[in-house]
Structure 1
Amino acid sequence: MKRLFLSACAVALGLSGLTIAPADANSLRYAPPPPVMLSPDQIDPWVMQVRPGSFRIEPRDARPRVTSRRVAPAPQRTRQASIAKTKQRVRSIDPRFLPTVVDYDGPHKPGTIIVNTNERYLYLINNDGTARRYGVGVGRPGFEWAGRHKVTRKAEWPSWRPPAEMRQRQPGLPAFMEGGPRNPLGARALYLGSTLYRIHGSNEPWSIGQAVSSGCIRMRNQDVQDLYTRVRVGTNVVVI
């Protein structure tokens, strides 16, 4: 009790500007620290900057958590793949030029090939009053022709020798090209008489149904392969 009393007196005297010597060393060790006093002119400018309600402490679990997650980027097509797909979509064959079987009651005998250049169809007459119909590409304006011929030769993956007139019209064409997928004559060729014209495949299937050739009759490779197995040398060909 005596120590507490002396400590309280020391605090009271300290606030009044007086000092008192401690009774012993332990009295300062266990005495409570004096209160901190701040002048109002020092704290008012700070208190005025704090608006009511500007601070809010939320429970730790209630605070929104921000997490980062790496999202794998969506696969992007290369420019070449995009262009190739666009070309494929634009240059696809019209479905009406795909092979089909139709009725036929005309004057030509079974086994005859009829090419209707206006319709862009080739017909192979069957024995049962029907005909197999294929879509074809034909000669562009200025290269149309009509007539009757026979198949005088058949060739698989034929080589190509562009005529001199064609090479003159289209500089850069080779004088000779071996047969193969890149050859303009495609997978099969049926040669017509002594003419320069052929019924042949094409590495440009989107040209079927169009007038783009120099007079030859173009077919899809799979279609000319089918036709090739159904006709023989000597077959009559009528182009109208």
Structure 2
Amino acid sequence: MSPKFPLRLNRRAFLAGSAALGGSLSAPAVLAQAAMDGSTEMETDVRQTTRRNISSFRVLDWHDYFTNLRRGAILADTESRCVHFWSEDARIYRLYPSSVPMTDDLTRRGRTEVVRKVEGPDWRPTPSMRERNPEWPDYVPPGPNNPLGTHALYLSWQYYRIHGTHDTRKIGRRSSNGCIGLYNEHIAELFGLAQIGTQVLLI
């Protein structure tokens, strides 16, 4: 399965991208959000989570979700499990499959924005995560074992991130402890497109 799936506002590209993912409703297309207490997460056993689903993987119009595109806009849809990006001038549109939280109580919805961008992020569990998973390490440095992957966009909500993942099985599933996860190739592209102050809406 190829992780290269950034879609332009183009039906042919959409269909080609779907075919690259396997061309079936079991291919990845999910969107993620973060645990109310914090959105960074360790990898979980995705075999215990829901199946992949792209039945709602579709191009959207930014006008339905934002009043303007100041500094660009990111829409994370937890139902269709997709992340959408529009540039400030609306000339660039991307659509990515993502992971979403395993349960609704780990999900936060509403408007926020990108407040920090980090290439090679490190990771620490939130207090609530430590309570639920005392066996988790206190700290994971940047690298192949880091649950935030290669890049992270930090949001104005404490602990919430849009980030990469080294475990590609998570994409397209309810598999996260809170954050929105993307393939590393996709978060690297989104990292380059997004700005400090880019609007973010989680629905």
TM-score by length of 2: 0.67
Bigger relative contact order (CA 8 A; separation at least 6):
2
In terms of fraction of residues, the more helix-rich structure is 1
Q: State the SS of the aligned residue for 1:233.
A: coil
Where does 1:75-90 land on structure 2 (aligned, <5 Å)?
A: none
Q: 2:80 aligns with which of 105, 119, 129?
A: 119
For the 8 Å contact 1:104–1:130, the answer to whether it is kept is: no
Where does 1:99-178 land on structure 2 (aligned, <5 Å)?
A: 99-102=6-9, 104-107=60-63, 108=66, 109-110=68-69, 111-126=72-87, 127-128=89-90, 131-141=93-103, 142-178=105-141
> One-letter code of the match for 2:134?
P
Structure 1 residue 128, shift from structure 2 partner: 4.3
* Separation in 2, partners of 1:201, 1:217: 8
Give the gaps of 5 or more residues in structure 2: 10-58
Deviates more, 1:136-145 or 1:126-135: 126-135
For the 8 Å contact 1:105–1:129, the answer to whether it is kept is: no
* Separation in 2, partners of 1:157, 1:222: 13
> One-letter code of the match for 1:115?
A
Describe the superposition over 1:56-81 as per-residue Cα deviations: whole angstroms up to 9, x where unpaired.
xxxxxxxxxxxxxxxxxxxxxxxxxx
Structure 1 residue 131, shift from structure 2 partner: 2.3
* Separation in 2, partners of 1:128, 1:151: 18
Q: Percent identity?
A: 35
Over 2 Å off, 4+ runs: 102-106, 126-131
TM-score by length of 1: 0.57
> One-letter code of the match for 1:99?
P
For the 8 Å contact 2:75–2:84, the answer to whether it is kept is: yes
* Structure label with greater radius of gyration: 1
Aligned residue for 2:194?
Answer: 231
How many equivalent residue pairs?
147
For the 8 Å contact 2:62–2:86, the answer to whether it is kept is: no
Deviates more, 1:167-176 or 1:218-227: 167-176
Q: State the SS of the aligned residue for 1:229.
A: helix
Aligned residue for 2:27?
Answer: none
Give the gaps of 5 or more residues in structure 1: 1-91
Structure 1 residue 168, shift from structure 2 partner: 1.8
Describe the superposition over 1:157-208 as per-residue Cα deviations: whole angstroms up to 9, x where unpaired.
1010111211221231111111112100100000110421100000111211
